[in-house]
Amino acid sequence: MIDDETLHMYVDEAREHLEDIEANLLEVEQAGDDFDSDQVNKVFRAAHSMKGGAGFLGLTNIKELAHKIENVLDMVRNYELSPTPDIVNIVLLAFDRLSELVDKVTESNEMEIDEHIQALTAVTSNNLPNDEKDSVSREVEIADKTGRNVMTISELDFNQARKGGNYIYLLEFDLIHDVQRKDKKPLDLIKEMQSTGNIMEVKVDLQSVGSLDDEPSNILPMYMLFSTIIEPDIITTFLDMEQERVLPIEDKSAEKEAVSEEKSGAGQGQSSESIDETIDKSDSAPDLPPSESNAGKVEPESEKVPEKKNGPGETVSKEISKPEKPVKGKSKKAAKEKAGESSGASAVQSESLRVQVSLLENLMNLAGELVLSRNQLMQSVSVKDNRAVESSAQRIDLVTSELQEAIMLTRMQPV
């Protein structure tokens, strides 16, 4: 149970985040195309933190609204979108609404946010590069190991989920075995998932349950499309699930672009394509041993900024393997910018990356904080102090979000 104190802490932190946003956004608007990307980043991080905390606390409206705001700000900071007065206004209004939701946090899930969601979605889809525009309405089919289509989601959601350095997995739960028999509660499972990533879509197989006339079913299959920064080599341990129930989903959108032109006549008709690659795909290396010498497998994804100019003085050339998270595919933006370049060529761009020392220090600090919070958590669990557990968990959640951010920043280079 989430107690009032945890909720209270969240509200206080959210209010702090919200305080400076208006001032920052107005400055960005006034600067026009010369806006300071640090400022946009600040606002982005505010939305991002609010989204993360909201997810943990089951504040779905706050989470959704923060997510949509985040999408718009992400495009601005990637120079995919110009912060015009109209757009800044839409974001400001959305933040106002977010503020109202936070003020009435316990009712927030029942409050109206449709208008703002629509406006924000329109901003992103109107400003996607032409070939991405359709990704809003195009769908991606997600298939299980046998190739059977299990669910579909919009291509935009799929791509956006990948952009944050996230991995996407198709998880196959059996609510009876995985939950009931392990003495877990279904709602707890959901909350656990929400606190470590984003549940993109869920599909319960109703048919297999049978009807009242049948014997009570001993299986209740549930598929979940889940995005998270947790890597493939530890996800199964983390979720306490068997390898065969966890299927990493590859991103083939870059290949798709090259391929779909060839295939346009070949009977593929709709743009949806089955995406069911396994880890063994040649352009990725999730099994990389966590040693720094393995820089050969690093794919500094250039989706944010194509040129990697080195900053003056302080930049240090460092081979970063683990924190780089070799993302298995390229976003459509990268594919577009390298007009027509096949995904094979763009798969391994360079073997090292220059990153500012300050960023690395930040990463180290965050990692340190994460370790502390984890220790706190382990301790609270062992003495079964629920309140302490919840507060450690919230701390871990926030630190993880910050860590995720910091990692993304290591890939963003000044133009």
Partner 1 sequence: MSEEVYLEMPENIVSTATEDIKAELIRALENDPPALALDLEKTRYVDSMGIGVLIAAFNSCHKKQIEFKLLNVDKEVYELFTTMRLDQHFPIQPKEKG
Binding region for partner 1 (CB under 8 A)? 58, 60, 107, 109-110, 175-176, 179-180, 185-187, 190, 194, 199, 201-204, 206-207, 209-214, 216-217, 220, 222
Those residues with Cβ within 8 angstroms of residue 71's Cβ, 6 or more apart along the chain or in another chain: 120, 124, 160
Our CA angle for 173, 174, 175, nearest 5°, is 105
Q: How far is the CB of 206 from partner 1 (least distance, A)?
A: 5
Smaller CB separation from partner 1, 42 or 203: 203
Smaller CB separation from partner 1, 91 or 179: 179
Q: How far is the CB of 114 from partner 1 (least distance, A)?
A: 16
Smaller CB separation from partner 1, 109 or 294: 109
Smaller CB separation from partner 1, 141 or 341: 141
Q: Using alpha carbons, select from 363, 361, 354 the residue that is nearest to residue 405.
A: 363
Q: How far is the CB of 152 from partner 1 (least distance, A)?
A: 13
Q: How far is the CB of 99 from partner 1 (least distance, A)?
A: 20
Q: How far is the CB of 221 from partner 1 (least distance, A)?
A: 11
The 10 Å Cβ neighbour count of residue 63 is: 22
Q: How far is the CB of 59 from partner 1 (least distance, A)?
A: 10
Smaller CB separation from partner 1, 55 or 300: 55
Smaller CB separation from partner 1, 176 or 295: 176
Smaller CB separation from partner 1, 222 or 348: 222
Smaller CB separation from partner 1, 35 or 223: 223
Q: How far is the CB of 142 from partner 1 (least distance, A)?
A: 14
Q: How far is the CB of 212 from partner 1 (least distance, A)?
A: 4
- For residue 408, give the amino acid letter: M
